[in-house]
Structure 1
Amino acid sequence: MMSAKLSPARAILAAFLLFLVTGPLWLPEFHVTLLNYIGLYGLVALGLVLLTGVGGLTSFGQAAFVGLGAYTTAYLTTAYGVSPWLTLLAGLGLTLAFALCLGFITLRLSGHFLPLGTIAWGISLYFLFGNLEWLGGHTGMTGIPAVSLFGLELKDSRSFFYLIWVVLLGAMLATRNLLDSREGRAIRALKGGTVMAEAMGVNTARSKIVIFTVAALYACVSGWLYAHLQRFVNPTPFSINQGVEFLFMAVIGGVAHVWGAVVGAGLITVLKQWLQDLLPELLGQSGNFEVIVFGLMMIFVLHRARNGLWPAIARLVPAQKQERHAVAAAEPLPRRQMPAAGTVLLQAEGVTKRFGGLVANKDMALTVQAGEVMALIGPNGAGKSTMFNCISGVNPPSEGRISFLGQPVAGLEARDIARLGLSRTFQHVRLLSGMTVLENVAIGAHLRGRHNYLAAGLRLERAEEARLLAEAARQIERVGLAEHMFDAAGSLALGKQRIVEIARALAADPCLLLLDEPAAGLRYLEKQALAELLRKLRGEGMGILLVEHDMDFVMGLADRVVVMEFGEKLAEGLPEEIQKNPAVLEAYLGGVE
């Protein structure tokens, strides 16, 4: 029987797990204690990987959530004799309530206001812990009981070691599962901007709240473990300084990588201990000089390794050659029933869009029917993309009526309009450059999945995930990019990136497709292939609204053409009529001569 050969990465992982299993049996007590703290801090940093590294939301206040978990179990076990395991549930419930309340307020902020908001509530909770006498004030609380597991009391650091690391490894596995799912792609889309994600049907506000809450719950569990390891709590470990240190750990380790949380926590914890011993000997006086070193180290890492240390460490492991296999076959997703040819899909009347004193669209009107290609043309700055944004819900109109399949949609969220069967591409390509073409296109199928974050973390949605990826692969093959399916989207030429956007829009199974300059950057043969694809989609009953500057492409494809100038409709008609219209020739096509 042939023995399976472990890859270098799997061999290193196996060695690491073996070290964790056997370490407490032979390591000195000091090193076991150090590893315990690395595990506790790694759990908080893992939440920041999800929140900051993947979701793009910076938080300095995670130490306050650690304090919530610690103080909840400290108070309930000492004052009322509640079982530590029940206090864990109580702490999670309290943290969930706090996280939802703070999240709904804080996550509405953007830019530098968001991290400032997290600093504000981080400081507030810290002083709350210290000023409540029934929580021991700044002196703290003692007498926290040990945790019992299967009748065994975990009284010392060696026995507690296994509980900490099992919890951390379980959280890491759940986080990896979550990121490798439909909901994980929605979370990763947050960092690339919410406009594209919302247009693909992602509820970005919900995704932000979820990762904020999950990061808070990780911190709460860390606080619960900390309280029962120390058997004593006071406010000092939950200050804003510790919150900054947690963020240091995540950034230095690799803020977008699950294993970066462990690397960062390990490096900072060990380095801090080493510097606390070394610096007083070198400088001849005691003080928090290690903070200065951490600051300099952070500046160095941000300059030299912006993605943290984990990617550099991962590159040292010999890469195993991976054959690119086709996406696993899966049962097709349900298809939308296409409206009959000639059915009015989209009707816009009197659409006006103002940006302060600037009128970008004025009294615009157009219709798009099932089974036709409608082209929207005009000079640069005519307001075509603004009209697209009004139709798709990205920027609702200031005035006017827009109906889709007979339902008023002006003022609806982009994701709600997408759910009705409208999908789009963008004038400026909006892809997640670090993700593969397959993953980018699968975002388009987001609304066709149903499983939630919990199912993703527990890996209970594999059948649905296989169907979503199979649908994405089908659309990639449909647009002629099968050979790039597993390439990073950012590595493709601009023209091919536009085709990826079309595949992503098609993965949503729309009945109306809005294409904003899809032929820009394409070569002649690629434009021909795109035109053939759009004709095929038209033949299947799909309506297509097209913005394009290539007049040969437009006139050879469109059934009807609307011309815009200065935000208003200049002309509408068949392609041959538009080509002969004197006003159009004067404004856009070069004049009558």
Structure 2
Amino acid sequence: MALRLIPLLALLLVAGLAPLVLPAFHVTLLNYIGLYSLVALGLVLLTGIGGMTSFGQAAFVGIGAYASAVLTTQYGLSPWLGLLAGLAITLVVATSLGLLTLRLAGHYLPIGTLAWGLALFYLFGNLPGLGGFGGLQNLPNIELLGWQISGSADFAVLIGLLLAASLWLLDNLLHSRQGRAIRTLKESAGMAEAMGIDTARSRLQVFIIAALLAALSGWLYAHLQRVVNPTPFSVVMGIEYLFMIVLGGVASLWGALLGAALLTLIKQVLQDVLPQLFGHADNVEMIFFGVLVILVLQYARGGLLPVLRSVLPASRPRTLALDDAPALPRRSMPAAGKPLMVAQGLLKQFGGLVANKNMGLSVNAAEVTALIGPNGAGKSTLFNLLSGVLTPNAGQIIFNGQRIEGLSPRAIAHLGVSRTFQHVRLLGEMSVLENVALGAHARGKAGLLRSMLHLERKEEAALLAEATRQIQRVGLGEYLHTPAGSLPLGQQRIVEIARALCSDPLLLLLDEPAAGLRHGEKQALAQLLEQLRGEGLGVLLVEHDMEFVMGLADHIVVMEFGQPLASGTPLQIQQNPAVLAAYLGGVE
């Protein structure tokens, strides 16, 4: 923790000493870097980590600036009330826009942000009372406990304090339960829902945080300039903010500062040099920035900061005291043999294709049920019906006495069903510990504010201790802090099982868990599943390895052409003529 505070203290030191040693012009330049960094921090969270591209952040900067400008110049109110008003208006606008636009996927989302970014820009210029495109002037100075914040030196200290505070809050957030949920949004939202994470809520929260940081920057900008007009809040400026994070580090908080500094300094140099080359400026620097971004995307897609970090010693992972962590509450396991999940008469059609027809099965507590069948038999479809990814056209699914067909994967996960995936879904850059801790998300309660203020230490330690226990349980204790993406495929599948166990499930759904495992790893997996069965856990596995299935399963269901072919004990299935015909073409 102390090591993480050193850069923040260095930032505050620079903010305090810069006015004493630098000319006023350079201090002003530093102030603008700080203002841009605040917006870029929000974009790192929104775009680089959350995967939601926005061209409209400059509009939120404008809301923060105009709210304070109107209240202070036209109503004579304090700039601090202007800040509160700007944040409140931004909260309402961002929530409304987020609920509308965050439902969009693919390229429709950035187009949506471009649309409302343009709309807000022209609203600033045409709304009565905002001074038109000429803007509002003579904003008052900010005063804090008798301190008149008027010159660039004063603003350097204030901006430095707010920037350091924002970095601390966001760093705490990203190293928390809520932060792990946010990091799933870009690549693994489906997996996150299956772990009980409300991805829609996380998206909206990230969108609002980014908007509030932009509004804070706008408030500071308005009182630093003491003049507000629509020009700095255009979509062009929104694109520049995106340039900053691409240049510095699209998924790095400190990359936001680096990108803001590089773009601001390069822009200043180009504005001095380009007129001498071309005889005029006219935003020619944007051509240079476009070429620069293309080069960065080609040769350093993560930005320049990760390149710099690759040649520096690796930082130690953030740790919490796990030895004294309280145990998480556990579910009461049902009696052995009690039906956990019963599916009856399931029908699933995709247009004219019938993937499942009259399918049913029963999975009991303390038993391993296997679902087998040739490729194309409809096993994956049935698996997705049981886990809530798909909704059946007909039939019912009862889990632990409750009908669950039509429920979302998140709701089913909260009831006590956890799963793995046919194609491994891990966050490769996150450690094994963090990936497994995602499984315990639904067992925590700390919200966004507690996470940002780092007041969830006790709960976070409990979640990580549980994840550590499950990792050691599956035999991967030596890989706790190893990036999950660097493990072999077989071990990645074991990590997925540990993540599923971390949710304290009653029923475990395993989709081809033995695929990619060596013989010794399969034996270890079989021992683990036997141990889980002995603890009362119900297991349903889809698997093609018949030796693995026959040596482990208590009950086997065989599918063919989307329909049930046979069911029974392993011995009964091995002797069933219909099964032999489906797999081997018949019996002599």
Do they fold alike, i.e. is TM over 0.5? yes
Q: Indicate the SS of the match to 2:185.
A: helix
Which residue in the other structure is 2:56 paired with? Answer: 61
Q: Indicate the SS of the match to 1:361.
A: strand
Q: Indicate the SS of the match to 1:444.
A: helix
After superposition, the Cα gap between the structure-2 partners of 1:323 and 1:398, relative to the gap in structure 1 and judged at 3 Å, is closer
Which residue in the other structure is 1:218 paired with? Answer: 213
State the Cα distance separating 1:316 from its structure 2 match.
Answer: 3.9
Q: Indicate the SS of the match to 1:586.
A: helix
After superposition, the Cα gap between the structure-2 partners of 1:170 and 1:321, relative to the gap in structure 1 and judged at 3 Å, is closer
Which residue in the other structure is 2:556 paired with? Answer: 561
Contact kept? 1:192, 1:431, Cα under 8 Å: no
Are 1:432 and 2:442 matched, yes or no? Answer: no
CA distance in 2, matches of 1:448, 1:318: 35
Which residue in the other structure is 2:95 paired with? Answer: 100
Q: Indicate the SS of the match to 1:72.
A: helix
Contact kept? 2:12, 2:164, Cα under 8 Å: no
After superposition, the Cα gap between the structure-2 partners of 1:58 and 1:530, relative to the gap in structure 1 and judged at 3 Å, is same
After superposition, the Cα gap between the structure-2 partners of 1:184 and 1:395, relative to the gap in structure 1 and judged at 3 Å, is same
CA distance in 1, matches of 2:36, 2:280: 28
Q: After superposition, where does 1:412-451 map in structure 2 within 5 Å? A: 412-451=407-446
Are 1:473 and 2:468 matched, yes or no? Answer: yes
Amino acid at match of 1:290: E
CA distance in 2, matches of 1:103, 1:228: 28
Which residue in the other structure is 2:285 paired with? Answer: 290
Which residue in the other structure is 2:259 paired with? Answer: 264
CA distance in 1, matches of 2:294, 2:61: 27
Contact kept? 1:345, 1:405, Cα under 8 Å: yes
Number of aligned pairs? Answer: 588
Q: Indicate the SS of the match to 1:366.
A: strand
Deviations 1:444-490 (A, max 9, x none): 00000000011000000011000000000000010011111111111
Contact kept? 1:423, 1:512, Cα under 8 Å: yes
Moved more, 373-382 or 79-88: 79-88
The normalised TM-score by structure 2 is 0.97
Which residue in the other structure is 2:189 paired with? Answer: 194
Amino acid at match of 1:178: L
Contact kept? 1:7, 1:320, Cα under 8 Å: no
Q: After superposition, where does 1:374-389 map in structure 2 within 5 Å? A: 374-389=369-384
State the Cα distance separating 1:578 from its structure 2 match.
Answer: 0.6
Q: Indicate the SS of the match to 2:186.
A: helix
CA distance in 2, matches of 1:555, 1:426: 21
Contact kept? 1:9, 1:317, Cα under 8 Å: no
CA distance in 2, matches of 1:44, 1:322: 27
Which residue in the other structure is 1:204 paired with? Answer: 199
Amino acid at match of 2:538: G
Q: Indicate the SS of the match to 2:445.
A: coil
CA distance in 2, matches of 1:321, 1:545: 39
Q: After superposition, where does 1:6-17 map in structure 2 within 5 Å? A: 15-17=10-12
Out of 113, 122, 128, the residue aligned to residue 117 of structure 2 is: 122
Are 1:91 and 2:81 matched, yes or no? Answer: no
Which residue in the other structure is 1:461 paired with? Answer: 456
Contact kept? 2:344, 2:395, Cα under 8 Å: yes
Which residue in the other structure is 1:3 paired with? Answer: none
After superposition, the Cα gap between the structure-2 partners of 1:326 and 1:161, relative to the gap in structure 1 and judged at 3 Å, is closer
State the Cα distance separating 1:20 from its structure 2 match.
Answer: 2.4
Which residue in the other structure is 2:537 paired with? Answer: 542
State the Cα distance separating 1:592 from its structure 2 match.
Answer: 1.9
State the Cα distance separating 1:314 from its structure 2 match.
Answer: 2.2
State the Cα distance separating 1:19 from its structure 2 match.
Answer: 2.6
State the Cα distance separating 1:386 from its structure 2 match.
Answer: 1.2
CA distance in 2, matches of 1:446, 1:8: 27
Which residue in the other structure is 2:491 paired with? Answer: 496
Q: Percent identity?
A: 62
Contact kept? 1:62, 1:219, Cα under 8 Å: yes
CA distance in 1, matches of 2:9, 2:116: 41
Q: After superposition, where does 1:140-151 map in structure 2 within 5 Å? A: 140-151=135-146
Out of 360, 363, 388, the residue aligned to residue 368 of structure 1 is: 363
CA distance in 2, matches of 1:38, 1:228: 16
Deviations 1:56-115 (A, max 9, x none): 111010000000000001111111111111121111111000011000110000000000
Contact kept? 2:94, 2:211, Cα under 8 Å: yes
* Runs of 5+ consecutive residues of structure 1 not aligned to the other structure: 1-5
Which residue in the other structure is 1:519 paired with? Answer: 514
CA distance in 2, matches of 1:497, 1:435: 12
CA distance in 2, matches of 1:189, 1:278: 43
Q: Indicate the SS of the match to 2:541.
A: strand
Amino acid at match of 2:195: M
Out of 562, 570, 586, the residue aligned to residue 581 of structure 2 is: 586
Contact kept? 2:12, 2:161, Cα under 8 Å: no
After superposition, the Cα gap between the structure-2 partners of 1:266 and 1:529, relative to the gap in structure 1 and judged at 3 Å, is same
CA distance in 1, matches of 2:317, 2:101: 43
Amino acid at match of 2:114: I
After superposition, the Cα gap between the structure-2 partners of 1:16 and 1:98, relative to the gap in structure 1 and judged at 3 Å, is closer
Moved more, 167-176 or 329-338: 329-338
Moved more, 136-145 or 307-316: 307-316
Which residue in the other structure is 1:253 paired with? Answer: 248
After superposition, the Cα gap between the structure-2 partners of 1:12 and 1:459, relative to the gap in structure 1 and judged at 3 Å, is closer
Amino acid at match of 1:499: I
Out of 331, 340, 363, the residue aligned to residue 336 of structure 1 is: 331
State the Cα distance separating 1:345 from its structure 2 match.
Answer: 0.7
Contact kept? 2:136, 2:228, Cα under 8 Å: yes
State the Cα distance separating 1:7 from its structure 2 match.
Answer: 11
Moved more, 151-160 or 432-441: 151-160
Contact kept? 2:61, 2:217, Cα under 8 Å: yes
State the Cα distance separating 1:324 from its structure 2 match.
Answer: 9.9
Amino acid at match of 2:300: A
After superposition, the Cα gap between the structure-2 partners of 1:16 and 1:205, relative to the gap in structure 1 and judged at 3 Å, is closer
CA distance in 2, matches of 1:217, 1:323: 27
Q: Indicate the SS of the match to 1:192.
A: coil
Deviations 1:221-278 (A, max 9, x none): 0001111111110000000000000011011110100000100000011111110110
Are 1:302 and 2:330 matched, yes or no? Answer: no
The normalised TM-score by structure 1 is 0.97
User: What's the C-alpha RMSD, in Å, of the aligned pairs?
Assistant: 1.8
Q: Indicate the SS of the match to 1:518.
A: coil
State the Cα distance separating 1:317 from its structure 2 match.
Answer: 3.3
